[in-house]
Chains A and B, each alone.
Chain A
Amino acid sequence: MLEIRDLHKTFNKGTINEKVALNGVSLKLEEGDFCTIIGGNGAGKSTTLNAIAGVWPVDSGAVFIDGKDISGLPEHKRAVFLGRVFQDPMTGTAADMQIDENIALALRRGKLRTLRWGVTKEEREEFREKLKVLDLGLEDRLSTKVGLLSGGQRQALTLLMATMKKPKLLLLDEHTAALDPKTAAKVLETTDKIVRENKLTTLMVTHNMRHAIDHGNRLIMMSKGRVVVDVKGEQKKNLKVSDLLSMFEHAAGADEISDRMMLGDN
């Protein structure tokens, strides 16, 4: 499914701000894997996702999807394979466009933008049905500008947009970090449901140990631009926060554990 091989990326090379963000990240996901990525600030979690999405080219290494090397494709061409939800609720949607227009844009991911009508009547009906699943009352507000929605509503909508046209890989970049705990729980619940129903291969970055343990069938932990812990199968099912902490201490040293990870029980 997804394979990344020995990714390296250094930002601001040769300056005083030089930062090695990825230092040889390799990872292989099977079809239908739901993998959570955890790690402290600057561990390279989001950078890994951005490398897969093609926000910039990596310094070296390769990204394969279904055995095809996509390392040389620009961001908008990789979008064909990917569904993405970002940390900032403002990033994933176009605020000044209507809900239906936003979904319609996502539905045409990977297609040539022709001179056909941007949203059709049948599509609107389809959107209404899909929005009902979110249980936020958005199905009656198709013509509302997305900018008028709350952060949680926007994230749920972005999630729908990312998955409506089934992606080969779903990338969730701390997509609940900017939400209040209650809304975050709801968006995560919806995430689980959508991922399960569509059998999506998913990579979810989180700061929150609890979330990393409760969701998905695999967990990797990153530190200093490398994967340091990889837990799957039965071991992942029985994983506890204390196990995770000791693994992490062992792999990366105690000082690497950030306060946010420790407090991440909400």
Chain B
Amino acid sequence: MAEYFSMLNPEALFNSCPGGIAQGLIWGVMALGLFLTFKMLNFADLTVDGSLATGGSVCIMMIFNGYNPQLALLVSFVAGVLAGIVTGILHTTLGIPDILAGILTQIALYSINLNILGKANQAINVNQVKLYFTSNINLLNKTIMIVAACLIVIILILYWYLGTEQGSAIRATGINPNMAKAQGININHMKIIALALSNGLVALAGGMLAQYQGFADVNMGRGAIVIGLAAVIIGEVIGEALLRKRLNFILRLFFVVVGAVIYYLVYVFVLWLKFPADDMKLLTAIVVAIFLAVPYLKNARKNSFRRLARENKKNGLTVEE
């Protein structure tokens, strides 16, 4: 035991925090995309596992071929939009249930990503190009600043967009599709638009992440939806606990990012505790399951038959035979 603790170096934890924050912020972009479909449209979109890697692959290959890294990110976004449209059409025009539609696109994207990369993993020489997002220790603070600035812009745009006529129509589609149709909203179009935007953001995050780590991997998106959900849910729980009724819409968006950063700081901390990196996905799944289950269990405890029986016995309402 003492040997284990002596292995842990507080300085190492401190040093890995900025990296955790930077990655958390980049995943915040992804989580905002997921928020759009999962929370606004009520659609669990599994496309993201594929579109994140698509964004990364497109970005890396463009930089590899000498294009401007900013332009590469823009094209990543567009690639994600296209992936979202595919899922949208599978779901609306072809009537495939939401989760299946997402899985189909995700699987298709695996092949497409391999084709884009030409192999399973492609790196770029990070010293030869000027990247905007990099894990270089000396430039990490700058990365954090740039991602944070991007996030502020994205949050403001999302806040504005969801308040527009079109954004309201998307929200209505998610909450009550029958009402939306009765008010003349084409719910199929709204679903496709939301999926396109969402996957655009996810692919953008994939591009940023690929720049950050200096390579793209065909498996980089595996389990992305779970990490994104973790961010959305952790952010929501913390936001509600801290602000309660004052949690307005723009703060909800902000707390999605907070959730992503917290997730990555915990990740860094758990790795620091020498938790095997291979088991991290298991841990993530457990954390997300707990956060998803808590609201249900809380409610179930309040409305429990067993509790009623116990109380009735205590109050003498039940006569023991």
Contacts and interface: CB of A to CB of B under 8 A. Distances in A.
Interface string A84-112: 10100011111111000100111011110
Contacts, number: 86
A225 B181 CA distance: 25
Given A94-B171, A95-B176, A53 B166 contact: no
Nearest to A79: B184
Secondary structure at chain A's binding surface: helix, strand, loop or mixed?
Answer: loop
A93 B176 contact: yes
B181 A113 contact: no
A53 B184 contact: no
A104 B163 CA distance: 11
Interface string B273-300: 0000000000000000000000000000
B120 interface: no
Contact of B164 (A79, A94, A118): A118
Nearest to A171: B182
B161 interface: yes
Interface in A224-251: none
Q: Which has the most chain A C-beta neighbours within 10 Å: B164, B171, B179, B187?
A: B179
Given A79-B182, A109-B183, A115 B161 contact: yes
A184 to B, nearest CB: 21
B177 to A, nearest CB: 10
Given A92-B179, A97-B171, A97-B172, A109 B163 contact: no
Interface in A190-232: none
Given A105-B168, A116-B164, A84 B182 contact: yes
Contacts of A94: 171-172, 175-176, 179-180
Interface in B149-165: 161, 163-165
Contacts of A90: 176
A81 to B, nearest CB: 10
A91 B169 contact: no
Contact of A76 (B167, B171, B176, B181): B181
B184 A76 contact: yes
A97 B181 CA distance: 16
A91 B178 contact: yes
A80 interface: yes
B165 A53 contact: no
Contacts of B184: 76-77, 79-80, 108-111
Contacts of A117: 163-165
A101 B164 contact: no
Given A76-B187, A79-B184, A91 B165 contact: no
A91 B168 contact: no
Interface residues of A, number: 33
Interface residues of B, number: 23
A114 interface: yes
A87 to B, nearest CB: 12
A114 B164 contact: yes
A97 B165 contact: no
A75 interface: yes
A43 B31 CA distance: 50
B166 A114 contact: yes
A115 B157 CA distance: 11
A86 B186 CA distance: 19
Contacts of B180: 76, 94, 105
A118 B183 contact: no
Contact of B185 (A91, A105, A115): A105
A179 B23 CA distance: 53
A115 B176 contact: no
A115 B166 contact: yes
B168 A97 contact: yes
A96 to B, nearest CB: 5
B183 A106 contact: yes
A114 B161 CA distance: 10
Contacts of A106: 183
- Going nearest first, the 9 A-B pairs with the smallest beta carbon separation are A79-B184, A118-B168, A109-B184, A94-B175, A113-B166, A113-B165, A113-B169, A75-B181, A94-B172
20 contacts: A53-B182, A75-B182, A80-B184, A90-B176, A91-B178, A94-B179, A95-B176, A97-B175, A105-B172, A105-B183, A108-B165, A109-B183, A110-B184, A111-B165, A111-B184, A113-B164, A113-B185, A115-B166, A116-B165, A119-B168
Interface of B: 161, 163-169, 171-172, 175-176, 178-187, 190
Interface of A: 53, 75-77, 79-80, 82, 84, 86, 90-97, 101, 104-106, 108-111, 113-119, 161
